[in-house]
Structure 1
Amino acid sequence: MKKILSIMACGAILASSASADFTRVEAGAGAWMQSSKGTASYTDAGANGSYISNEKDSTQPYVWMLIKHPIPILPNLRLEYTSVKDDGAATGKFKDFNIGVATTTLSYDIKQYDIIPYYNILDNTAWITLDLGVDIKILDASYRAAPSGAFTGYSDSAMLAVPLLYARARVQIPSTNIGIESDIKYLTTGNSTVYDFRAKVDYTLDFVPVVQPAVEIGYRTQKIDIDESGVDVKANVEFSGFYAGMMVRF
């Protein structure tokens, strides 16, 4: 009897693996309702600039695409875009401008482009999917200190790429169109930590045979905590909130 049950279990797993998609394209878009909080400081060459978030809510768009192919040696690809925005009170002296004793408003916008090559470790094997890879998160940041009193204002921009480890897990609930999924991008070094975490539930509408539309709703949180002795800028900011959108599978 035990041998029969073992054979049946193995057969179920093999059948599930056999039904896995060797080529697949998924894409989605929606809105992220994010709340911000955090602080930052600038201390190069005697500067004493500081920033405190006003902790406002905002809604930002997001889009993503997943491309899976049947060539095992080559990684699959996931592409993502979103942005985070915040504003708060700034005082003191920064690199290229001096607010002085007054307090002014500093606002910033960080557009994020994620390029994620990954390998599909499990593909709907016993209803479980597991992906592992690397995320190259490109940050396109711009900021502006608004005029206040004698201060004439200042704006600048910068772009940098941050490598993060990437992991994604998904469970398809048997006999339903419901999937539960989460992914994380993470890096820690020294006293600094950067992560981007999401968890969601999606429901697939399978009335179309070729293109399968779906709806998704989830929660996302990003944290950037930079505290290194050799870095002039120290920051501890966080963005979190629910998101919702539409997606399609081909």
Structure 2
Amino acid sequence: MIKKLFAACALATTVALPAQADTLLGLYAGAQAFQMKTDGGFAQDESIANFDFEDETNTSFYVALEHPIPLIPNIKIVRTNLDTEGFTQLDATFTFGNEVYTVDSRLRTTADLFTTDYILYYEILDNDVVSIDVGISGKQIDGDFLVVDADTQQRSAEEFSGIIPMVYSRAAVGLPLTGLGAYVEASYLSIDDNSLSDYQAAITYNFIESLAIDMTLQAGYRSTTVDLEDLDDIYADLEFKGAFVGLEFHF
């Protein structure tokens, strides 16, 4: 878990370094290691099969650019890995990728998912004690589902991709002179039968604060739900949740 965190931090820092010299801009770069539990399943129609997924440690990293220009929104980009796999014995017939898996088939399932959030937001309040951001987000989902029968090696795979608009908000509070703080961040959408949400809440500790760089530790909980109806012929009802630790740089 720690190795993945520092690897992602190194990548985020590499992205951020060119902007250090511009004192008119605020650049944030961070990374999180996410201890993820996955519930739910997927299908190519409304008959979604639930699978037993294993707990995984995945990573997320982000960069955000804030500026003093009125009316032009700030921008944040978040990249999250949601890979997982599991093993399930079917209690009903399951069809996927034009392959039919019968009752009692023992299936190995792999879900390779990546999400990229493109966020435009405004700071409606920003001081040392309270800050509030609101905006819109486009969540791009890229996925690859693989199903393999453990006995017959019968297999099927499907890919899907799409961008879904969402509402974004973030609220943070700080305790002056202590370095301690907390935040809640959320993106959400519910339209017809599609429902997506991405929530996280964390306690923070700013342990380095200087003219050149601030560094903040994060520890919290994150929950991401994906309820899709016919996105590239994919139906899914998945929830990814668990604790995370993170490190943020502010230049």
Q: Is 1:69 equivalent to 2:47 in the alignment?
A: no
Give the letter for the 1:196 counterpart: D
For the pair shown, the structure with the greater C-alpha radius of gyration is 1
The offset of 1:128, in angstroms, is: 1.1
Match of 2:243 in 1: 242
2:178 is paired with a residue whose SS is coil
Q: Give the Cα–Cα distance (whole angstroms) in 2 for the partners of residues 244 and 145 of structure 1.
A: 31
Name the amino acid aligned to 2:121. Y
- Tell me the CA shift for residue 148 of structure 1: 3.7
3-state secondary structure, aligned to 1:156 = strand
For residue 132 of structure 2, what is the aligned residue in structure 1? 130
Return the offset for 1:161.
0.7
Kindly indicate whether the alpha-carbon contact (under 8 Å) linking 1:53 and 1:87 is maintained by their aligned counterparts in 2.
no
Q: Which moved more, 1:200-209 or 1:158-167?
A: 200-209
Partner of 1:56: 54
The answer to whether the 8 Å contact 1:53/1:86 transfers is no
Aligned to 1:97: 99
| Kept in 2: contact 1:164–1:185 (CA 8 A) | yes
Query: What's the counterpart of residue 158 of structure 2?
Result: 156
Asked if structure 2 preserves the Cα contact closer than 8 Å seen for 1:36 and 1:53, the reply is no
Q: What are the residue-to-residue correspondences of 1:1-250 with 2, within 5 Å?
A: 23-43=25-45, 50-88=48-86, 89=88, 91-101=93-103, 102-124=105-127, 127-206=129-208, 208-226=210-228, 233-250=234-251
Normalised TM-score (structure 1):
0.80
Change (3 A) 1:233 1:161: same
Report the TM-score when normalising by structure 2: 0.80
Q: Secondary structure at the match of 1:104?
A: strand
Letter in 1 for 2:112: D
Structure 1 CA distance for aligned equivalents of residues 168 and 133 of structure 2:
8
Percent of aligned positions that are identical: 25
Number of aligned residues: 224
Q: Which runs of 5+ in 2 are unaligned?
A: 1-22
Could you say what secondary structure the match of 2:122 adopts? Answer: strand
Contact kept, 8 Å, 1:186 with 1:195, in 2: the verdict is yes
Deviation string, structure 1 residues 30-64 (Cα, Å, up to 9, x no partner): 200011111334338xxx6x422214210001111
Deviation, 1:194, is 0.9
Give the distance between the partners of 2:189 and 2:237, measured in 1 at CA: 15
Aligned mates of 1:83, 1:61 — CA distance in 2: 6
Give deviations 1:81-122, integer Å, cap 9, x for gaps. 112133343642234322244342221111111110111111
Does structure 2 conserve the Cα–Cα contact (< 8 Å) formed by 1:214 and 1:248? yes
Q: Displaced runs of 4+ in structure 1, greater than 6 A?
A: none
Query: Residues of 1 paired with 2:42 and 2:160: CA distance?
Result: 16
**Alpha-carbon distance between aligned partners in 1 of 2:224 and 2:168, rounded to the nearest angstrom:** 14
Conserved in 1, the CA contact under 8 Å of 2:106 and 2:151?
Answer: no
Whole-angstrom CA distance in 1 between matches of 2:45 and 2:249: 47
On the 8 A contact 2:160/2:232 being kept in 1, the answer is no
Note closer, same or farther for the CA distance 1:118–1:210 as it changes in structure 2 (3 Å cut).
Answer: same
